[in-house]
């Protein structure tokens, strides 16, 4: 197995790190420019349908839109991301809180979260560095000695007692992702929908045991560093979390809680070392948003938070491409060398990537030569029987 390198050693930070302001994300910055079309691309997709563009048929578009039904990307405190108990799983007052060891807490939370839909579950201590300084709608995010988190028009308060974070990875399907960047790539929307339902359901499970829980999607804190600290994977060149089990094909959510939980070990190293020689996503990104070369400390624009050693992608030019293509693109998910169907041969390659990095250039070269990561023919999608991937 690859080494398990402590977070601060693997992702060193240069200078004074400041908590990121969610009003600076590419979504927030660009939504001021694109207005109501920020997420829906409504007119463009229907224009493409009328022009007969493959992957933009009427069923394709409705498929993608319908996958949004339970979506709640940045809905801090809303819907299943409510900071208040939903009143579904309620512990009666005369029943004591279910209080065991951190490992026993982790055992039941992990199993319940897997049942409710998570592909991966990890635990870590809350590192306040990753909590946004302000939410996307301008609320200051603060910490106070209160029992339960609360939201006002001006601020969002996380209790100091919420020292633990559960990171969840929600699955995205290989097959449907392989049609990116058309509207048949429903897995992003479906991933957000699953995040919302699963994360809120796990939070309600924790509340029913007598503890407090704040479920979050993309809101409230940066998901990728939390997921890395919870041992789910590592940050790839494409700026996404890459897991050993599912590559980048996951969406991440998190739950802050006062239920004591253990620290999960870091994921084995090897992903960053592979990305150092691969560069496939940088070559194929249509907006040149993904950098070539080694990791740096140099942000591209205000939508990156400077400090950690990593690959800084230009999230703003990426977002502009989404609008050009009228979908969420996802080419860097589809084409990533870690995006593979389940299979023994791929597991063997991953073993070598973890243990014999000298072979990385060969595997990176062969991934391109063997044609992995190409787009599937969208005109055939509805003729192929559904296969869970
Ligand atoms: S989503 Fe598309 S445009 Fe954005 S970084 Fe990935 S490949 Fe590039
Ligand atoms: S395509 Fe290659 S360089 Fe890019 S994230 Fe995937 S493994 Fe890393």
**232's tokens:** 């789910």
Q: Which ligand is nearest to the CA of 289?
A: 1
CA–centroid distance, residue 181 to ligand 1 (Å): 9
Cα Rg, the chain, nearest whole Å = 21
User: For residues 229 and 6, what is the distance between their CA atoms, to the nearest angstrom?
Assistant: 9
Main-chain phi, psi angles of 248, to 5 degrees: -85, 0
Residues 22, 31: Cα–Cα separation, whole Å? 12
Cα-based distances in Å from 299 to 10, 291, 310, 351: 18, 11, 9, 33
Q: Which residues of the chain have pLDDT under 70?
A: 1, 39-41
Q: Is 236 in the pocket of ligand 2 (CB under 6 A)?
A: yes
Ligand 2 centroid – CA 292 distance (Å): 11
Query: Rounded to an integer, what distance in angstroms lies between the CA atom of residue 244 and that of residue 233?
Result: 7
Can you give the pLDDT at residue 71?
A: 84
- Measured CA to CA in angstroms, residue 111 lies from 106, 114, 168 at distances of 8, 5, 12
Is 236 within 8 Å of 277 (Cβ atoms)? Answer: no
Residue 64 has what pLDDT? Answer: 95
Rounded to whole angstroms, the Cα distance separating 215 from 257 reads 9
Ligand nearest to the CA of 316: 1
Q: Which atom of ligand 1 is nearest to the CA of 317?
A: 3
- Sign (positive or negative) of CA dihedral 318, 324, 327, 333: negative
Going by C-alpha positions, the residue among 349, 346, 342, 344 that lies closest to residue 363 is: 349
Ligand number with the minimum distance to the CA of 285:
1
Q: What is the pLDDT of residue 339?
A: 97
Tokens of 160: 């100091």
Alpha-helical segments (H) within 128-256:
174-177, 187-208, 223-229
3-class SS of residue 270: coil
Tell me what pLDDT residue 39 has.
63
Pocket test for ligand 1, best of 312, 316, 321, 324 (most atoms within 8 A of CB): 321
Measured in Å, residue 89 CA sits from the centre of ligand 2 at 42
Q: Tell me which residue has tokens 């014999």.
A: 356
Within 10 A of 264 (CB to CB), how many other CB atoms are there? 18
Cα of 123 from ligand 2 centre, angstroms: 26
Whether this model's pTM surpasses 0.95: yes
Atom number, ligand 2, closest to the C-alpha of residue 276: 3
With a Cβ cut-off of 6 Å, ligand 1 is lined by 285-287, 289-290, 313, 318, 321, 329-332
Q: If you average pLDDT over every residue of the chain, what do you get? A: 95
- Rounded to whole angstroms, the Cα distance separating 39 from 322 reads 9
Cβ–Cβ under 8 Å, residues 252 and 167:
yes
Calpha distance 171→174 (Å, rounded): 9
């Amino acid at each position: 197995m690859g080494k398990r390198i402590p977070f601060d050693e693997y992702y060193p930070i240069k200078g004074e790190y400041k908590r990121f302001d969610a009003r600076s994300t590419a979504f927030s910055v660009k939504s001021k420019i694109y207005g109501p079309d920020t997420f829906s691309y409504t007119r463009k997709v229907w224009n493409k349908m009328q022009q007969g563009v493959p992957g933009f048929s009427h069923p394709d578009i409705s498929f993608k839109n319908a996958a949004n039904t339970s979506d709640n990307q940045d809905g801090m405190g809303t819907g299943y991301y409510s900071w208040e108990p939903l009143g579904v799983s309620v512990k009666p007052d005369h029943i004591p809180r279910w209080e065991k060891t951190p490992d026993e807490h982790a055992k039941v939370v992990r199993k319940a979260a897997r049942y409710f839909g998570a592909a991966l579950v990890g635990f870590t201590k809350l590192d306040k560095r990753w909590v946004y300084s302000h939410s996307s709608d301008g609320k200051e995010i603060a910490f106070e000695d209160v029992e339960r988190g609360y939201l006002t028009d001006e601020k969002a308060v996380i209790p100091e007692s919420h020292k633990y974070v559960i990171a969840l990875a929600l699955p995205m399907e290989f097959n449907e992702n392989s049609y990116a960047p058309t509207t048949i790539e429903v897995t992003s929307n479906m991933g957000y929908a699953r995040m919302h339902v699963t994360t809120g359901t796990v939070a309600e499970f924790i509340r029913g045991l007598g503890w407090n829980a704040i479920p979050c999607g993309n809101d409230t804190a940066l998901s990728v560093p939390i997921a890395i600290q919870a041992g789910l994977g590592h940050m790839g060149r494409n700026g996404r979390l890459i897991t050993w089990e599912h590559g980048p094909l996951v969406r991440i959510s998190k739950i802050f809680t006062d239920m004591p939980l253990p620290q999960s070990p870091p994921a084995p190293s090897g992903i960053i070392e592979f990305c150092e020689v691969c560069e496939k996503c940088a070559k194929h990104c249509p907006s040149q948003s993904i950098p070539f070369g080694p990791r740096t400390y140099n942000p591209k624009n205000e939508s990156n938070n400077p400090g950690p050693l990593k690959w800084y992608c230009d999230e703003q030019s990426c977002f502009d491409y989404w609008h050009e293509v009228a979908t969420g693109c996802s080419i860097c998910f589809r084409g990533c060398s870690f995006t593979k169907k389940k299979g023994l041969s791929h597991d063997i390659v991953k073993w070598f990537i973890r243990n014999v990095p000298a072979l990385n250039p060969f595997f990176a070269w062969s991934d391109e030569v063997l044609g992995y990561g190409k787009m599937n023919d969208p005109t055939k999608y509805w003729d192929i029987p559904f296969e869970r991937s």
